[in-house]
Chains A and B, each alone.
Chain A
Amino acid sequence: MQNLKEIRFVATNFSNLQGLRAVPLGLCLVLVCFWANGLQYPVRDFFVPVVGMVGSLMLLFAIDRYYLHAFGRVQRTPESLRLEWLISAVGGILALGAFWLDISVKLPVSLLGLVCAAGTLVDYIRITWLVKGRFLLYYPLVAVLMAGVSVLPLLGVSNWWKACGLETQMLGIAMAIGIFMIITGIWGHIFLVHTLQSRGRQNDHAI
């Protein structure tokens, strides 16, 4: 039964488990944060963000090809696609609103960070909803860490981003999101490879 759960989980969430696809985006975000941190106005040189975006798009294309040739392709059910689009759209609108509030009102928390933490948690519930098993436990862990980083000023750790060499809380949060994307991406990929390899070993002698 556990094996069947694992099979259902991988087949349902195959695209979510292709974690390396999140790595270029995370790297690009970190790179843009470093660039923005050293900005001097007026800004005339956009070389770094342009190279970052083009580079991450090329890397994303290469990673897509890798997954296609190494693991094959799965078409998701229309219901699963609709749900993901709905959550992404609502999450995107909330993130934009939170970003606007963060830069226009001085708050003791980062709303963008809290929205990302809530989004990670909602995503975790979505992908494990049908399969009642203990998969991808790093999702809730990352959500808690993200929420923790977002409320650090409220807990008395003010200007924590300065200790990291960053000028603003927004840059600190964006950098944290980028780093979490890279870590969870690599983690998801390891889970996928490990699951498929162990299934291969189990059935090596099957008829």
Chain B
Amino acid sequence: MTTPFEELAGLDRLIHEPARLSILTALASCKSADYLFLRRLTGLTGGNLSSHLSKLEEGGLIQIEKRFVDKRPNTQVQITEKGRITIERHWIQLENLRKDSQMWKP
């Protein structure tokens, strides 16, 4: 049986970072979203968002596709199957932690 602290330490740091958790949460709720939408939704600057997206792409959690729409560059971001499984597992872990912390007495 793991303690709440061990569970907390066991959280995946790649997605537990608030900005990346927000990005993955948004992408898990739709088929795909573009860069502008993610920037507006997370409130991150362009540079910060790019940096977080790169980390998530390196981890195989998202796919980034650059294309042209109406002759304008458009970056479309989609969650991968691995990303979907990872974020769902992370939500379950967070929910369990929340329940455990309610029962925990100092």
Does B30 contact A200, Cβ atoms closer than 8 Å?
no
Nearest-neighbor residue (CB-CB) of A13 within chain B: B29
Task: Report B-chain residues with C-beta under 8 Å of the C-beta of A200.
Answer: 40, 43
In the assembled complex, A164 has its CB within 8 A of some CB on chain B: no
Say whether chain A's binding surface is mostly helix, strand, loop, or mixed.
helix
Interface residues in A1-36 by Cβ distance below 8 A to B read 1, 3-4, 7-8, 10-12, 14
A75 touching B25, Cβ below 8 Å = no
Interface residue A162 (Cβ < 8 Å from any Cβ of B): no
Q: Contact between A196 and B29 (Cβ–Cβ < 8 Å)?
A: no
Complex Cα distance, B91 from A34, in Å, reads 52
Q: Cβ of B33 and Cβ of A73 under 8 Å apart? A: yes
Chain A: interface size category: 20 to 34
Q: Which chain B residue shows the least CB distance to A15?
A: B30
Does B31 make an interface contact (CB < 8 A)?
A: yes
Q: Which B residue sits closest to A195, measured CB to CB? A: B41
B22-A14 in contact (CB<8A): no
Q: How far is the CA of A200 from the CA of B38 in the complex (A)?
A: 11
Q: B22 to A4, Cβ gap below 8 A?
A: yes
A8 partner residues in chain B, CB cutoff 8 A: 25-26, 28-29
- Contacts A4-B21, A202-B43 given; does A73 touch B29 at CB 8 Å: no
The residue that B33 contacts in the complex, of A4, A75, A203, A204, with Cβ under 8 A, is A75
* Contact (Cβ within 8 A) A7 B43: no
Say how far B55's CB is from chain A's closest CB, in angstroms.
12
Bound Cα distance A199, B33 (Å): 17
Q: Return chain B residues, CB-CB under 8 Å to A105.
A: none
Indicate if A77 sits at the interface (CB-CB under 8 A).
yes
A76 vs B34: C-alpha distance when bound (angstroms): 12
Does B98 belong to the interface (CB within 8 Å)?
A: yes
Residues of B within 8 A of A203 (CB): 19, 42-44
A36 to B49, CA, bound (A): 52
Asked if residues A11 and B41 are in contact (CB atoms below 8 Å), the reply is yes
**A73's closest neighbor in chain B, by CB?**
B34
Q: Within 8 Å of chain B (Cβ to Cβ): is A71?
A: yes
| Bound complex: CA A10 to CA B98 (Å) | 24
Chain B contacts of A11 at CB under 8 A? 25-27, 29-30, 33, 41
Given A3-B22, A4-B25, A72-B34, 8 more pairs with CB closer than 8 A: A7-B22, A8-B28, A12-B29, A75-B33, A76-B31, A78-B31, A130-B29, A200-B43
Q: What are 18 contact pairs spanning A and B, CB under 8 A?
A: A4-B25, A7-B25, A11-B25, A11-B26, A11-B30, A12-B29, A12-B30, A71-B36, A73-B33, A73-B34, A75-B32, A75-B33, A196-B40, A199-B41, A201-B43, A203-B44, A206-B44, A207-B19
Q: What 8 A-B pairs come out closest when comparing CB atoms?
A: A72-B37, A72-B36, A203-B43, A200-B43, A11-B29, A11-B26, A75-B31, A199-B43
